[in-house]
A and B are shown apart, each in its own frame.
Chain A
Amino acid sequence: MIQYTLRRLGLMAVTLFGVSVAIFVLLRIVPGNIADILFDSAGMIDPAEKQQIVKDLGLDLPLVTQYAHWIGGLLHGDLGYSYVSEKPVLDEILPRIPITARLAGLALLFAICTGVPFGVISAVRQNSWLDYLLRVVSLAALSMPSFWLGLLVLMAFVNWLGLLPIYDKAPATTGAAILMYCVPAATVGLRSSALIMRLTRSSMLEVLRQDYVRTARSKGLSEAAVTFTHALRNAMLPVITVIGIETAFLFGGLIVTETVFNIPGVARFLVEAIRWRDYPMVQNLVMFIAIVVVSVNLIVDLAYMLVDPRIRLRT
């Protein structure tokens, strides 16, 4: 178990190194740099002034030197300064992480709390009206683009309740924060919920046909015990994988939801930073998301071992 974890941690380090090189190179391949963008807003181009900006920001240094500066700083906890705000990158990123974490956490909670039970119900009541209803709803949820759904939800709130659940200032209390994040979390979590529900259903249907489930029933176990103790635990393996993937997505892929609900989270900030070619900001944000993704993958792999003893024994 320890050896397995250590091996995974080693792989994590290699993956992160690869991501760091990829993002560094990709950003430099994209046409234009911060000096171009700064002059875009002013609409004026004085080559001397522009060259000075390039020099001041160290963009005229060889790429290897620039990369070494960044990674060296990163390892020492110095993420550099944003080209746009001229503030330390850490000061810009840190306040945004809890915002995205709360939104992603609530969305995930919503997705799991609705997706798994409805999936189980749908499987247990296969081909009943409830099963059909849940399948239609989940298909609709999967098909709806989140920006459209988000706007529909906002319109419904404005028209029927006369209020708008968007982020306009930092909530003062935990209760206020939960209330504010609930609507966007449910909106973004609906897709994940539908995915988890459909996967749970198909996985459960497969497991429920297994011999050991029939054996459990023939032993006289209650249907609840058969479903939840014997079937669900085995059906959860693919669901855990999807939950892992969704967690990673929710940390970096919330751009649409953050834009529609005006939430100043990591994803919206990342897109804006890319637009500005704010290299220190983009590189560090992408690294942060990469760390979240590989960490979640590690947790998922470790969770497999907890859920399925056969994996533990094989490793």
Chain B
Amino acid sequence: MKRSGFLLAVACLLGLSHAALAQKQGGTLRVTHRDNPPSASILEEATISTDMPFMAVFNNLVVFDPASPVNRLDKVVPDLATSWAWTDDDRTLTFKLHHGVKWHDGQPFTSADVKCTWDMLTGKVQGKLRKNPRKTWWFNIKDVVTDGDDTVIFHLYDPQPSIMAMFAGGFSPVYPCHVPANEMRTHPIGTGPFKFESFKQNESIRLVRNPDYWKPGKPYLDAIEYTIIPNRSTMVLAMAAGKFDLSFTSDLTPELTKSLMEQVPTMQCVLQPTNTQGNLLVNRERPPFDNEQIRKAMVLSIDRKAFSDILSQGVFQVGGANMPPPEGFWGWSKEYMETVAGYGADVEKSREQGRAIMKALGYGPDNMLQLKVTTRNIPDYRDAAVILIDHLKSIYIQAELEPLDSSVWYARLARKDFSVAMNVQGTGIDDPDVQFFENFLCGSERNYTSYCNADLEKLFHKQSQMKDIDARRKLVWDIDKKLQEDGARPVVFHAEAGTCWWPRVHGINIAKNSIYNHWRFEDVWLDR
């Protein structure tokens, strides 16, 4: 027994040392990029186009464990912070910081940089950021104070355990205080494993190894090169031809992922939720949609499975506001979903109820309600809107498609200048706080439908303060159910897409419930 235990230990050690030795230093990782990022400043953008290529330039205070396949609160590990501690009232969070970390320009990293970053994000310092898309994430931060160079303290208005998830997200890097915000948009400076080298508009992004990285021995790669290939067909061919090592995250539709795997059987591919959902926006301030009954009938007309089948051959998932399981942690279970109005398996029965409502309101086959379905004029939005128009016909609504140029789309949403719209939106983190406060809080900038329910809002805050994860999840399900049944922003589908890489790339670990994290590449190496 002793002998076998010894052998096992030796075998494990050999295995571990082999794994450690196997990591090869050097090489340039070639990655495709789907489009031209609006800027290099992660804090100012809300798109994966900026987050993925520039995440490796930075560090966070904490990160989701890069080795874990899920991004969850219990998987948060230190990054620039060595440790953190909450006070007993859960309103003060203290981070101890790594000593001796330097920015890429040689300046020392201190607690002042952390304070400066969150003062910008909470809006306490005006004019530094041109845009601040995630201001709502930090609504609960009262102030940030430093205690020497290596300690930073966050004072919160209320307890909020899930704020750690927001600190750990790829969208929350620490910025240097001494670098102007406009320079961060064109030439970012970070503490991360890779230094920014160049960003050629519509052409490429190149990062090079930071030889002074504060994590000894890392990173393994010499450089990372992103080539911007907007044409998906060209990108797939380029991947198949081996010109690139890794595809841009979730850039491949389920069908393309399948096709690429058939073309190159050794290709490693992962299909995962893209943290984006299609949802129906109904302007409840504009007649006749101020009538709750019409909104309810519209919800009952939706056949979510049909959306999934048509748009993705059944790959897209059905759920509420939160990402559905198994990937999502906060989404409804299948059994619970059956109890939500409009989510039952019998779509025809739901539509019959919808038709009865519409008939009671005076509509029918000879007197259909005429409306426009507004949407953004790009395929992801437009295709879903066309299906929606078809479904609305089943409850006596004759809709016309109104596709809008991207430049007009958000402006119209902000002005509430629409009656019914088909929207596709992303969420940075699989966490109810992000979802609820960003999209459903009374008066939130992103609350496009102006849904406002004071009682529910109290529950938003209640769930946010809960430490017991199971109890919180139960409450989150109930909140989500109420949101869907109220037609606050009926969710139609949760999208999925693929990421592929050649077997020569090692150390890629994709989080199954987020496309926005795990792109620091400090553990990635090439075996060419």
Residues of B within 8 A of A52 (CB): 127, 130
Q: In chain A between 32 and 51, which residues have their CB closer than 8 angstroms to a CB of chain B?
A: 32-33, 36-47, 49
> Does B46 contact A262, Cβ atoms closer than 8 Å?
no
Q: Among the listed A38, A43, A151, A154, which residue makes an inter-chain contact with B446, where contact means beta carbons less than 8 Å apart?
A: A43
On chain A, the residues within 8 Å of B200 by CB distance are 95, 264
The answer to whether the Cβ of B243 comes within 8 Å of any Cβ in the partner chain is yes
Task: Enumerate A13-62 residues with CB–CB distance to B below 8 Å.
Answer: 31-33, 36-47, 49, 52-53
List chain B residues, Cβ under 8 A from A168: 30, 227, 238, 243-244
If A85-B201, A87-B186 touch, whether A43 touches B425 (CB-CB below 8 Å) is: yes
Hey, which chain A residues are within 8 Å of B186, CB to CB?
Answer: 85-87
Interface size, A (range): 35 or more
Chain A residues, CB < 8 A from B225: 169
Report A-chain residues with C-beta under 8 Å of the C-beta of B202.
264, 268-269, 272
Could you tell me the distance between the alpha carbons of A200 and B458 in the complex, rounded to whole angstroms? 79
Distance (Å) between the CB of A99 and the closest chain B CB?
9
Q: Is the CB of B405 within 8 A of A32?
A: yes
* Interface residue ranges of B403-430 to A (CB < 8 Å): 405-411, 413-414, 425-426
Tell me which of B38, B127, B426 has the highest count of chain A C-beta atoms within 10 A of its own C-beta.
B38
Cβ-defined contact, A259 with B405, below 8 A: no
- Interface segment, B11-19, B228-236, B338-346, B386-394? B228-236
Query: Counting CB contacts under 8 A, is A275 at the interface?
Result: yes
Cβ-Cβ contact count across A and B, 8 Å cutoff: 131
A49 touches B130 (CB 8 A): yes
Chain A residue numbers with a CB within 8 Å of B242 are 162
B-contact bits for A137-177, CB 8 A (1 contact / 0 none):
00000000000000100110110001110101100000000
**Closest chain B residue, CB of each to CB of A53:** B130
**With a CB–CB cut-off of 8 A, which chain B residues contact A198?**
none
Is A92 at the interface (CB under 8 A from chain B)? Answer: yes
Contact with A along B141-176 (1 / 0, CB 8 A): 000000000000000000000000000000000000
Cα of A310 to Cα of B410 in the assembled complex, Å = 61
Which among A31, A42, A92, A272 is the interface contact of B133 at CB below 8 angstroms? A42
Least Cβ distance of B438 to chain A in Å?
A: 9
Contact A169 B234 (CB under 8 A): no
In the complex, what residue of chain A is closest to B131 when comparing beta carbons?
Answer: A42
B47 at the interface (CB under 8 A from A): yes
Cα–Cα distance between A315 and B208 once the two chains are bound (Å): 62
B408 near A86: Cβ-Cβ < 8 Å: no
Q: Is the beta-carbon distance between B243 and A49 smaller than 8 angstroms?
A: no
Digitize B295-313: 1 where CB-to-A-CB distance is under 8 Å, 0 elsewhere: 0000000000000000000
Pairwise interchain contact B410-A40, C-beta atoms closer than 8 A: yes
Q: Give bound CA distance, A176 to B45, whole Å.
A: 37
Pairwise interchain contact A45-B227, C-beta atoms closer than 8 A? no
B263 to chain A: closest residue by CB: A158
Report the separation of the CA atoms of residues A282 and B44 in the bound assembly, to the nearest whole angstrom.
Answer: 24
Contacts of B409 in A (CB 8 A): 40
* Other-chain residue from A45, A95, A259, A277 in contact with B445 (beta carbon distance below 8 A): A45
Closest to B438 in A: A44
Residues of chain A within 8 A of B199, CB atoms compared: 85
Q: With an 8 A cutoff between CB atoms, is A261 at the interface?
A: yes
Given contacts A32-B405, A45-B414, A272-B36, contact A164 B237 (CB under 8 A): yes
Question: Are A264 and B203 closer than 8 Å at their CB atoms?
Answer: yes
Contact flags B200-242 to A (C-beta < 8 A → 1, else 0): 1111100000000000000000000101111101100110111
Question: Which single member of B38, B49, B231 contacts A84 (CB below 8 Å)?
Answer: B38
Asked if B132 and A49 sit within 8 Å, CB to CB, the answer is yes
How far does the alpha carbon of A43 sit from the alpha carbon of B228 in the complex, in Å? 22
Q: Does B185 contact A (CB under 8 A)?
A: yes
CB atoms of A31 and B408 under 8 A apart: yes
Q: Is B333 an interface residue (CB 8 A)?
A: no
Query: How far, in angstroms, from A40 to B185 measured CA to CA in the complex?
Result: 17
Q: Which of A82-133 contact B (CB under 8 A)?
A: 82, 84-87, 92, 95
| A38-B130, A264-B203 known; A45 vs B234 contact (CB < 8 Å) | no
For residue B25, CB closer than 8 A to chain A, the reply is: no
Bound: A110/B498 CA distance, A: 40
Chain B residues near A151: list those with CB within 8 A: 233-234, 237
A260 interface hit (Cβ, 8 Å)? yes
Q: CA of A52 to CA of B130 in the docked complex: distance in angstroms?
A: 8
CB pair A43–B133 under 8 Å, yes or no, is yes
Q: Which of the residues B38, B132, B182, B243 comes within 8 Å of A38, measured between beta carbons?
A: B38
Contact (Cβ within 8 A) B238 A41: no
Best-surrounded residue of B39, B200, B203, B243 (most CB of chain A within 10 A): B203
Determine whether the beta carbon of B47 is less than 8 Å from that of A269: no
Which B residues lie within 8 Å of A49 (CB)?
130-132
Q: A49-B130, A168-B227, A168-B238 are contacts. A36–B38 as well, Cβ < 8 Å?
A: no
- Contact status A45-B411, CB under 8 Å: yes
Scoring B residues 241 to 275 as 1 if CB is less than 8 Å from chain A, else 0, what string do you get? 11110000000000000000000000000000000
Contact of A43 among B36, B203, B410 (CB under 8 A): B410
Do residues B410 and A39 form an inter-chain contact, with CB atoms below 8 A?
Answer: yes
Given contacts A31-B407, A31-B408, contact A166 B446 (CB under 8 A): no
Q: Which residues of B lie under 8 Å from residue A162 when comparing CB positions? A: 241-242
A87 CB to closest chain B CB, in angstroms?
7
- Tell me, in angstroms, the Cα distance from A277 to B165 when the chains sit together: 36
* Contact indicator A43/B46 (Cβ below 8 Å): yes
A-B pairs with beta carbons under 8 Å apart, 13 shown: A32-B406, A33-B407, A42-B45, A42-B133, A43-B46, A44-B46, A95-B200, A151-B233, A154-B233, A155-B237, A168-B244, A260-B234, A262-B231
6 shortest interchain CB distances as A-B pairs: A32-B407, A42-B133, A45-B414, A164-B241, A264-B203, A44-B133
Additional 9 contacts, C-beta under 8 A, given A36-B410, A39-B411, A162-B242: A31-B405, A40-B407, A43-B46, A44-B132, A52-B127, A157-B241, A259-B230, A264-B202, A264-B203
